[in-house]
Structure 1
Amino acid sequence: MQIDDTDRRILRQMLAAPGLPMAELAERAGVTAATCWRRVERLRAGGVILGEQAEINWRKLGYEVEVSLRFTLDKTHPRAFDEFIAAARDVPEVLEIQTFLGQTDVRLNVIARDMAHYQEIYRARILTLPHIADTDALMLISTIKDSPELPL
């Protein structure tokens, strides 16, 4: 799908201020509300805009610990990836699941209220996931940059 400078302006504004009413988005992008609406609908239909979602500050809800867990799976089992991922989806504290090529097969981003809660999640829900050959944990200390924005 081809996008032009107007589409890029609209996308930049959507990224900068998600959830803007269409009229305000149009004003910020320098187009009429009707033009903005048509373009946003075309970008959605073309798969450029996949959806809009709330960004939640988990710390404000009492989740103080964030851990990135990296797994190497036992790939001797033909369904290791599928079964691991299906089971990981059922862990409510898993916010993100990514798969990789290389030494790490899967990464889970896990949140917890505190270290005791994390230990409970890790022992009861994470270590019981199927086909784990090896795991490594990285605890988040701070986020320096977290932006979905690219130069449009």
Structure 2
Amino acid sequence: MLTDQERALLRRWQAEPELSAGDLAAELGLPPATVARRIERLRENGVLRGVHGVIDWKAAGYKVEVSLRFTLDKAEPRALDRFLAAAREVPEVIEIQTFLGRVDARLQVIARDLAHWRELYRDRILTLPHIADIEALMHVTRVKTDAVLPV
């Protein structure tokens, strides 16, 4: 369970992740050593798993985003494992999720343009093992994307 101080620390850090522990301490009115200990405890408890750089892939030249939902042929016992291992090898796959139900997996794929997408789909996606069915959803608009936890 998070303390009120830890929640305040996380809220502030999520708003401005480039803040140092000293800056966080000053803004929260806490001693820097206290903030440093809290951050270390949050890391040890797995609440903070790391600090990441966020790259805007559209600004980097990737203009197409497609969500692919897969149903796999599960006649082979390791079908899902083999599918996931092969999907991890495609650099343009930026997210992989698995599900219980009719859909087994979802891949989020980015491409530079439609020509690049067609090439990826034909040469990399359709060659993934154990595919029984694919549903492709071309991304139009991102309405909300937020990795901020409501602490």
- Tell me the TM-score normalised to structure 2 length: 0.95
Give the distance between the partners of 1:10 and 1:107, measured in 2 at CA. Answer: 34
Amino acid of the structure 2 residue aligned with 1:74: D
Structure 1: gaps (5+ residues): none
State the distance in 2 between where 1:48 and 1:36 align.
15
Give the distance between the partners of 2:139 and 2:29, measured in 1 at CA: 39
Aligned to 2:133: 134
Q: Kindly report the root-mean-square deviation, in angstroms, between the aligned alpha carbons of the 2 structures.
A: 1.1
TM-score by length of 1: 0.95
> Match for residue 84 of structure 2?
85
Report how far residue 4 of structure 1 moved.
0.5
Report the counterpart of residue 150 of structure 2 in structure 1. 151
Letter in 2 for 1:75: K
Q: Would the aligned equivalents of 1:19 and 1:52 in 2 still touch at CA under 8 Å? A: no
Q: What CA deviation, in whole Å up to 9, does each residue of 1:47-101 have, x standing for no partner?
A: 1111111111011110000111110011111001100000000000000100011
CA distance in 2 between counterparts of 1:7 and 1:73 reads 43
Q: Which runs of 4+ in 1 moved over 6 A?
A: none
**Across the two proteins, how many residue pairs are aligned to each other?**
151
Identity across the alignment (%):
56
The whole-number CA distance in structure 1 between the counterparts of 2:106 and 2:86 is 13
Are positions 1:76 and 2:72 aligned together? no
